[in-house]
Amino acid sequence: DLDLKSQLRELIPEQQDRLKKLKSEHGKVQLGNITVDMVLGGMRGIIGMLWETSLVDPEEGIRFRGLSIPECRKVLPTAVEGGEPLPEGLLWLLLTGKVPTKDQVDALSKELLARSTVPAHVYKVIDALPVTAHPMTQFTAGIMALQVESEFQKAYGNGLPKSKLWEPTYEDCLNLIARLPPVASYVYRRIFKDGKSIEADDSLDYAANLSHMLGFDDPRMLELMRLHVTIHADHEGGNISSHTGHLVGSALSDPYLSFASSVNGLAGPLHGLANQEALLWLKSIIQETGSDVTTDQLKDYVWKTLKSGKVVHGFGHGVLRRTDPRYLCQREFALKYLPEDPLFQLLSKLYEVVPPILTELGKVKNPWPNVDAHSGLLLNHFGLSETRYHTVLFGVSRSMGVGSQLIWDRALGLPLERPKSVTMEWLENYCKNK
């Protein structure tokens, strides 16, 4: 069957039963102890959320519905033989837990294209901002403007029963995912290309069209965009953008409101904006030292960065304890398509230099590089050199992860999220009595 929504309709009842059984049979099973450190430490390590679409293992990294990144690159349908996966295939996998056929992926590409018309007022909202506004600000403004067409909000207002809320959530999420490439490319062309937008090409898949509308038609760039949109889609539920989308959605805010919140979280430098910061940092090294930088010069530069109170963006992680497989697959891509690129060569040297220094600091739990160390230089290589724009593309991709889980949140009838907070006084008194 080529229709994603009817596949979901079949899957949902069995997953609802599974959740009911889990609750009734194991609801009282303990999942570990919460320490004061965890409460003071940004809830690190507290299991507190159901997230069906992906799971991060600290050593192996992300698995989308059980499949690692190398596995996804093997089994998901591609546009080019032996090439990068089509992100539509990942979306199908996230939603159904099943690897789609090429025909199913092609049908979904067409469906997304058919849903991609952006109402004119959205562009007016973006145009009302100064062209100097950060691309992420222009992007979220566009998402908020898309919200006007939310089917969820209408259906909720009309009293649609809770058990059916997943349907307008599905409609909103697919429309949102479909409309982000034109909105994102509008922002890019408005800021950097004198506002001359490019129409979608009906013959192209989702990521290729995104690249095309940005103004990049090199087949290698189309492959890069397919890889980029695939690997940035989801990273289990606790990262800031995914968690925020899920949290806001739990108030039954519609998917546009929920996802706009995700994107605002993504715009923080410790999260998605790290890709911008990481590339600016690489460029600053070349500017100061030239491209023939020695290992000692690099070590000095890293220490200088740390001593000035900054973090080394693109390194470290809240959950991962090894090199991010999203970094590694981008490294593979670079070795295949741009081994001579000076920024890539610089990053390869930093891959040797930074981890021992971060380890020497003594407090960094993971000294290895994450996804954001690598993504910017790849885009830069093919001409998308406007670093401040890069996080917008992360945002386009993240809509697939946040959207898939939002659909399941409503299908499973997950409740309002409301963890308990306490004051220092409360903790002091509690610990005194222990």
Show which residues are catalytic.
271, 317, 372
State the Cα–Cα distance between residues 394 and 410, nearest whole angstrom. Answer: 24
Among 65, 212, 246, 271, which residue sits at the site for ligand FAM (rule: CB under 6 A)?
271
Span from 59-67, 267-275, 384-392, 423-431 in contact with ligand FAM (CB under 6 A): 267-275
Among 372, 401, 402, 414, which residue sits at the site for ligand FAM (rule: CB under 6 A)?
372
Beta bridge partners of 55: 63
Task: Write the interaction track for ligand FAM spanning residues 188-227; mark x where CB under 6 A is met and - where it is not.
Answer: ----------------------------------------
For tokens 């996230």, name the residue. Answer: 94
Minimum distance of ligand FAM from residue 325's CB (angstroms): 12
**Cβ atoms of residues 64 and 89 within 8 Å:** no
Q: How many residues bind ligand FAM (CB under 6 A)?
A: 22
Task: Write the interaction track for ligand FAM spanning residues 312-331; mark x where CB under 6 A is met and - where it is not.
Answer: xxxxxxx-------------
Q: Does 239 bind ligand FAM (CB under 6 A)?
A: yes
Span from 128-136, 168-176, 269-277, 422-430 in contact with ligand FAM (CB under 6 A): 269-277
State the Cα–Cα distance between residues 173 and 386, nearest whole angstrom. Answer: 28
In which element (H, E) is residue 222 found?
Answer: helix 219-231
Q: Does 365 bind ligand FAM (CB under 6 A)?
A: yes
Given the complex with ligand FAM, which of 72 and 274 has the nearer CB atom?
274
Per-residue CA distances from 295 to 52, 303, 346, 347, 353 (Å): 44, 12, 10, 12, 7
Q: Does 311 bind ligand FAM (CB under 6 A)?
A: yes
Minimum distance of ligand FAM from residue 248's CB (angstroms): 18
Which residues in the 278-307 window bind ligand FAM by CB under 6 A? 306
Question: Closest residue to ligand FAM, Cβ-based?
Answer: 316
- Collapsed DSSP state (helix, strand, coil) of residue 201: coil
Minimum distance of ligand FAM from residue 32's CB (angstroms): 18
Tokens of residue 27, six digits: 């609801």
Span from 66-74, 107-115, 342-350, 364-372 in contact with ligand FAM (CB under 6 A): 364-372
Assign 3-state DSSP to the chain and report helix, strand, coil percentages, each to 5. Answer: 60, 5, 35
Minimum distance of ligand FAM from residue 377's CB (angstroms): 14
Among 270, 335, 422, 427, which residue sits at the site for ligand FAM (rule: CB under 6 A)?
270
State the Cα–Cα distance between residues 167 and 161, nearest whole angstrom. Answer: 11
Per-residue CA distances from 310 to 248, 299, 304 (Å): 31, 15, 9
Tokens of residue 64, six digits: 């989308």
**Cβ atoms of residues 51 and 405 within 8 Å:** yes
Q: Does 401 bind ligand FAM (CB under 6 A)?
A: no
Among 76, 146, 371, 400, which residue sits at the site for ligand FAM (rule: CB under 6 A)?
371
Given the complex with ligand FAM, which of 116 and 366 has the nearer CB atom?
366
Instruction: Name the DSSP letter for residue 75.
Output: H
Dump the DSSP string for 111-157: HHHHT-PPPHHHHHHHHTS-TTS-HHHHHHHHHHHHGGG-HHHHHHH
242 alpha-carbon distance from chain centroid: 8
Q: Does 374 bind ligand FAM (CB under 6 A)?
A: no
Give contact residues for ligand FAM (rule: CB under 6 A).
239, 270-272, 274, 306, 311-318, 358, 363-366, 370-372
